[in-house]
Structure 1
């Protein structure tokens, strides 16, 4: 089938680059988002997120008339849903987070009125196993005049598939084109049509499976990373207790040809690795014991960092008896969930910084070179400053994210400062 008009629902970190890529390869693309600011920004040929090279692609696509953004879905030949999949509120401490599919349901309800026979609907949102089938059920409920794969199989009016995004923030434009894609259709024809669509620009392989396996593939990839990071984070805690340099230890261990230990940090953040394992745990809590434990290890690492800060404050006051807690200035380096991006979603660095700002009786500074303004929730408690000001004014320096700018700092400037380095960055300068 020829897909001339593509609709992308959700113009965030995945939806916008995907929409721009289809437009760059000649498709007419209608991007849909509930955020008026995002819609207006895109229609000016600009972008509301930080992603290398994306701004030029979006600008050209809008200028060429191949990409437009709207608030309400319009008719198209294929619909790609790339909306968030958050968790339901936790009722009791210790409860396993449960996925909330409300945004997927809202997207299905929004596109239902403009669906027509022959359309393809693809769920790109990272989802718990069974979410694609659930989306199909919602669409069938909203459009009883159309047929769907569950009841009509290969002869259905609407084709439905799951194709999870598998890209790294900061490298999205490149990886959208080069990475393999997992295509999970509800029927063989669904998979075939989804493959034809992605082959518009995907140079990697499009590997076909069923929808449930495609959903699980993305969850498995990120759960594997989470378990590996948990090992590194737990190792860093052990080494701290045993007075061993964990960075040196990992470097030595990784000299073994079959060992590749990851680097520890203040926790695990982002919209994937810190989230996706819970989808597996929520679905199979009795079986996902290792995955569950890894989540708990990584979720507890920020508390360990906070304890290190409290100890540093206490030791500083002992060493400087004329000072009080109100005299101590703490500088937190990094808010993003990973280096060299502006994305604060599920960021342990952000959570730690917020906790410090609440706890610290003195001034709390923050250095984040990838953002211009602090989120509104932080404005009253934190001050955004350049690195030089933070190093000059602060008594305690807390390294949380290894941004490239922090790697270039003059180590001499750090003399006589109390340093807590969760990334092993300044010990390497």
Structure 2
């Protein structure tokens, strides 16, 4: 596998492309984002991920990694593009995968392999094969129900399972699920990932691999929902939920997670809905967990507004509220599906309070918060009447708050 083409140079695609290049493959990374392409070709990165820029720079300098708008023929094609929702029913939007399939199909030659990494509903890999086959009637493609049959093109689904902030390390060390449409496709995909993966390469079929990815994140979502629900109950009963969880976790078979302002990111906040959408009558616990976690930001807003109204009754005409953190998890710049962004967006519409936004990992606010004011941590603390800690960034743990400020700590760092 000397030549690899990666579609999508975001939080997963770029580290994956860089890792292949770092281990000797010739990699073309394809993206529609002009800024991303230009930045990568300068040996820099357009995202925050510890350790990644050094690898990208070296790969670009060595001529092993190049970003482009146009794909070229390769031995292996990896697709790592978004799969968002469409409509109000959390229906998966596979249009990005379809668009890549149409662009990729003319390049295919017998013996090539196409690997889908994008988090997808069960059956998405088969749908991708349909789109490829529509464009290339001269080639044969694998069929899910014929795992022993050979085809001209190999196809597999291989989900990522890395933690933002530790992507470089976990891409190498984590086990990977390799779900081929056929047995030969699985073996071919294993050859691709063995270029840099040191973890086990676990063989299965494409549907099981798709469901495994969704299952992993739905399981975590359910566990977080329990912690978030526990925090709401504890608040009502005047119990410190952080102490409660710490005590309960001393039980040898109990491991309760930490509650937060909600659940965000491109995985846990999204993937369980793919299961619910396809199985609306059966996915009862998964749906309930999603609803609990999706509602938690509104509970945090209610807590903030209670403090705002209290101060107004005390004579503060327009209390200043500092919202600390916008990313979906600590110490990264990723705002996708972030509950903190939802809270900020709602609070900016409140006329009775002035809102200051603090996010040390970004230089400017996204369009959804374009009417907000991004300030430094120290400035926000100096001015604020109310501080709401929404993300447990390291910077926030070191800050001493004024004694007269009201604090809503949604993440337990106080």
Task: Sort the TM-score into its range (normalised by shorter chain).
Answer: over 0.9
Partners of 2:345 and 2:270 in 1: how far apart?
Answer: 20
Query: Which of 386, 392, 396 is matched with 1:402 structurally?
Result: 392
Matched, 1:287 2:282: yes
Deviation at 1:314, TM superposition (A): 1.1
Partners of 1:245 and 1:287 in 2: how far apart?
Answer: 35
Partners of 1:307 and 1:203 in 2: how far apart?
Answer: 47
Please give the residue correspondences for 1:260-279 in structure 2 after superposition, counting only pairs within 5 Å: 260-279=255-274
1:204-262 residue CA offsets vs partner (Å, 9 max, x unmatched): 00000010000011100000000000000000000111111111101110111111100
Deviation at 1:374, TM superposition (A): 1.4
Aligned to 1:48: 46
SS in 2 for 1:155: coil
Aligned to 1:249: 244
Query: Which of 161, 172, 175 is matched with 2:170 structurally?
Result: 175
Query: Contact 2:345 / 2:368 at 8 angstroms: preserved in 1?
Result: no
Query: Which of 155, 160, 163 is matched with 2:155 structurally?
Result: 160
Query: Contact 2:178 / 2:209 at 8 angstroms: preserved in 1?
Result: yes
1:373-417 residue CA offsets vs partner (Å, 9 max, x unmatched): 11233232x21112111111011111100000011112xx33110
Partners of 2:366 and 2:226 in 1: how far apart?
Answer: 32
Q: Which runs of 5+ in 2 are unaligned?
A: none
Please give the residue correspondences for 1:61-80 in structure 2 after superposition, counting only pairs within 5 Å: 61-80=59-78
Partners of 2:368 and 2:161 in 1: how far apart?
Answer: 31
Matched, 1:414 2:402: yes
Aligned to 2:113: 120
Deviation at 1:366, TM superposition (A): 1.1
Please give the residue correspondences for 1:26-425 in structure 2 after superposition, counting only pairs within 5 Å: 26-90=24-88, 96-150=89-143, 154-318=149-313, 320-321=314-315, 323-324=316-317, 327-380=318-371, 382-410=372-400, 413-425=401-413
Partners of 2:80 and 2:149 in 1: how far apart?
Answer: 25
SS in 1 for 2:269: coil
Partners of 1:373 and 1:36 in 2: how far apart?
Answer: 18
1:344-391 residue CA offsets vs partner (Å, 9 max, x unmatched): 0000001101110111434211111111111233232x2111211111
Partners of 1:73 and 1:141 in 2: how far apart?
Answer: 19
Query: Contact 2:324 / 2:358 at 8 angstroms: preserved in 1?
Result: yes
1:4-46 residue CA offsets vs partner (Å, 9 max, x unmatched): 1000000000000000000000000010001111111111111
Deviation at 1:328, TM superposition (A): 1.3
Aligned to 1:16: 14
Q: Normalised by the size of structure 2, how large is the TM-score? A: 0.98
Partners of 1:113 and 1:232 in 2: how far apart?
Answer: 49
SS in 2 for 1:68: strand
Partners of 2:217 and 2:80 in 1: how far apart?
Answer: 18
Deviation at 1:310, TM superposition (A): 1.4
Q: Which runs of 5+ in 1 are unaligned?
A: 91-95
1:98-146 residue CA offsets vs partner (Å, 9 max, x unmatched): 1110001111111011111110000000100000011011101111111
Query: Contact 2:29 / 2:67 at 8 angstroms: preserved in 1?
Result: yes
When structure 1 is superposed on structure 2, of 223-232 and 352-361 the one drifting more is 352-361
Partners of 1:105 and 1:360 in 2: how far apart?
Answer: 43
